[in-house]
Structure 1
Amino acid sequence: MTETTQHEDLTVGRVAELVGVSVRTLHHWDAIGLVRPGGRSWAGYRLYDAADVARIHRVLVYRELGLALAEIGRILDDPSVDPREHLRRQKDQLAERIRRLERTARAVDEMIERTDMAAQNSTPLSPEEQARIFGTDWDPAYQEEARERWGSTDAWKQSAARSAGRDAAQWQEFKDELDEVEAALADALDRGVDPAGEDANALAERHRATIARHYDCTHAMQVVLARMYTEDPRFAAHYDQRAEGLAAWLRHAIEENARAHGVDPETATWQ
């Protein structure tokens, strides 16, 4: 922390520069009560003191660990834990994440070799190998959880059939497309695009098209999936790491797009 942040109350713009987040993010954290600046200038602008900035740094560490903002708030506001204990907890969690990343790095080396082999002989990738392409947060239990929930559906059968025919290059193509769509969604949120407007409708359709690579996804099915984006902490953390509030924005956009196609998002079911 700089000398300035130790002795002066800071504007939201100055804090954004110091900690490396956007002003929009700080406003969002203020609105939800995660980090509220404690002071005010003579003109009525909110100002952050050293304690506020220290809290922001703790939020950033926990967010890096993949925690949802609501969970971070509960941890930081726990009256039974002092700041020193917060730091110890963060250090322990970071150490564990480093260990996971080291294991993942070794897996990536193996995946590079396996991908080269798959590209040469068109051998389909296993679910575990697909997971290594799609990120370090994958847990093999997710596959079984999805099977238990959707395994009896036509969508699951379609997805299994289509996945079986993909090689490493095709999976990477899909991953690149998904990254592009999620980046476009985050950009729309940052630009203040109305989730009920035409631009958001078009983005919701792009998002639905990525799902349709796996199975025929109706607007009603997309709405059902969108509910998980805010209700399941894992999905919320994934989208909110792209941009704060993206999970909620995307769900709103999907629901409004469905409404424009004659589907009531309040009563939508998996069909």
Structure 2
Amino acid sequence: MKKFYRNSSFIAALVASMFVLGSCEKELDDNALTASAVSEASKAAAETAQSIMLDIAVNAPVIEADGTWHFDNVTADTYFTGGTPQLRNAAAQSQKCTFYNGGVLEAKSYGKVTVTPVGDGTVAPKTAWSYTTTGGASTSDVTVDITIAGQSVVVNKGNAKYSFTLLDSEGNPRISDLKVQVTGQEDVINPAFGVVVGDETNNCLADVFYTANAGTFGRATSSLLTDMTMGEIIAKNAYSSTSACGNASVAKVDQLHYNLGAGTYTVTVSGIVKGNAGMASTPFEVTRTVSVGSDCN
């Protein structure tokens, strides 16, 4: 009988401990469920948005009776100082007609970065332009360079995180259905392009000037930033450890060539950027008008 009571006490204690343990496990499970619910609620509270930048750079030669003048942007870059090579090139491209007609080059600001002319900025007519004899041909090679960038923002509890990624989690480009159309020419569907990802040493894209000219989409569009360098935008992150170089990227289309005569042409670029960070896919389209003829434009 004693043995029986001793075993009964043991069993009772074991049952009691199992009840307590079960209660603890239930409490842990409840806590885990609560934490999970909080996490999901936190995710649900986040708002996202995306904007697209599309830059169309057209180099249209000036046609003369026996030849054409072509702008030499590599030479033109050397007439500026400050900033990065890309920003100096942008300053030169924006003033190619000053190089052609002669005049005084101007300083250009890109966010907090300023590119200034070398010396007093005075250039003679046809500076950085080269002449090619065509034997009276009435058409000329017109080149089109296209650069695409996309800004994503995630806003949670007032904290914003910015990025410029154009690759998905598997490393594939998020750009699709890319189409280029030039007046009088057939569409060029899905021309070859590459996504250039910035890094800390050889290719920091922090100084790329970002203008959201191809549309904004999402619920947090008021938090999107524009007319700043990528580095300045990324610096607005609530997370100070975010790398400006590593979170910037652009897509560059292989240079397109068109044989065009004198006249006015419309260049239209369109496509889709697949969603990023919970955002839906967004279409974009930008049109630029360019004149080919006896005057620089």
Fold in common (TM above 0.5): no
Task: Name whichever structure is richer in helix by fraction.
Answer: 1
Task: Name whichever structure is richer in strand by fraction.
Answer: 2
TM-score normalized by the length of structure 1: 0.26
Q: Which has the higher contact order (CA 8 A, sep 6+)?
A: 2
Rg bigger for which structure?
A: 2
TM-score normalized by the length of structure 2: 0.24
